[in-house]
Structure 1
């Protein structure tokens, strides 16, 4: 595991405390998938991936700050706007804790890179995108997919619900892992999940 400076550890402890505070104080019963547990998983997976690459101490700090804040916007706004709100919350935290505007400027594009349609620029952005979709290649994808479906229903986002297996399959078909680490580790599992979704989608179509 990468050895982080004590000063950086303190910054990330403060970031975790802020995110924990937000999730403890802002009502979010509808965030079945985008919970604080998901955020913690992304932080953990980002560091797992980063450990396989030669990143600077600064890169590790920026990556972790972005990972902690990347989904905080879901507490306040619709999914389509959440990345921008997450950046706003991160910048507010930086200002309140006395962190330099430089850290906020570096973390902003990393947070924005988590938008599914965004092409990452540089290794840090590739890592956070792969950390955010890590579960696409895991057996646990089925559980996460059910959580996401329930969340979309609770947030009244019904367009995807009409053919959930088909839409989820389409998402995985257009998705790719960017780091060689995740490609080697997760691509095969993602293909298995896609095969299951395809079968489920075909069965649903036959029953309609």
Structure 2
């Protein structure tokens, strides 16, 4: 790994581990490093070399550091942290914009404007198309309940996620080829769970 990536990884790890992010069930160091790894997988599938991937790899490391400060709109704070750090590393201005644009692209709803932004968007929501979706989704629910004080009934939670997965689209060829088929399976499982909960409530309203 190149020096700037090593330095950025150390810095972002310190930010995440030195803040409330160390207690977050989902948006923590593990998620950041998974997104970093996912960028490599998707980029390699698209035949990008390490130099071409560097801006989006840096963006992956920084994209959730803003969660150390705030949940809603955290991408703006992530951009500030990335800008301050990379300016200190004398990172080229034109490349810095690529990094910050990639961070901004992770904001929901995702609207990537180029291939690098498509890569980080798919890397960030990689878990939707994996066998780990259920476990990851449980962590997100725990995070919302504990830190945002947002609670859903099982029926409402399944309905929310069904809508999210139905509206979501992978952008890269990797996402479409490898993740989308598994995402559809996960979506079908959510629908089955929703039906079970709905029928149970309908037959036993009390």
Task: Give the alignment's TM-score, normalised by structure 1.
Answer: 0.89
Displacement of 1:106 after TM fit? 1.8
Residues 125-167 of structure 1, C-alpha deviations (whole Å, 9 max, x = no match): 11111111111111110100000000000112416x2411110
Paired with 1:128 and 1:145, the residues of 2 have a C-alpha distance of: 19
Q: 1:59 aligns with which of 38, 47, 52?
A: 52
Q: 1:49 aligns with which of 10, 20, 42?
A: 42
| 52-61 or 29-38: bigger deviation | 52-61
- How many residues align? The count is 199
Tell me if the contact between 1:30 and 1:155 (Cα under 8 Å) persists in the aligned partners: no
Note the aligned Cα RMSD (angstroms).
Answer: 1.7
1:197 maps to 190
Three-state SS of the structure 2 residue aligned to 1:128 is helix
Corresponding position: 1:100 with 2:92: yes
Tell me if the contact between 2:21 and 2:27 (Cα under 8 Å) persists in the aligned partners: no
1:109 maps to 101
Residues 158-181 of structure 1, C-alpha deviations (whole Å, 9 max, x = no match): 16x241111011110001111112
Corresponding position: 1:171 with 2:169: no
Displacement of 1:187 after TM fit? 1.3
Paired with 1:57 and 1:137, the residues of 2 have a C-alpha distance of: 25
Paired with 1:23 and 1:156, the residues of 2 have a C-alpha distance of: 18
Paired with 2:18 and 2:170, the residues of 1 have a C-alpha distance of: 34
Tell me if the contact between 2:110 and 2:121 (Cα under 8 Å) persists in the aligned partners: no
Displacement of 1:99 after TM fit? 2.7
In structure 1, the gaps of 5 or more residues are: 1-5
Paired with 2:12 and 2:123, the residues of 1 have a C-alpha distance of: 18
Residues 12-51 of structure 1, C-alpha deviations (whole Å, 9 max, x = no match): 0011011111122213354100110010010001011101
1:185 maps to 178
Q: 1:85 aligns with which of 68, 77, 86?
A: 77
Paired with 2:176 and 2:99, the residues of 1 have a C-alpha distance of: 24
Residues 81-136 of structure 1, C-alpha deviations (whole Å, 9 max, x = no match): 11111111111212333333333222111111111313111110111111111111
1:152 maps to 144
Corresponding position: 1:34 with 2:27: yes
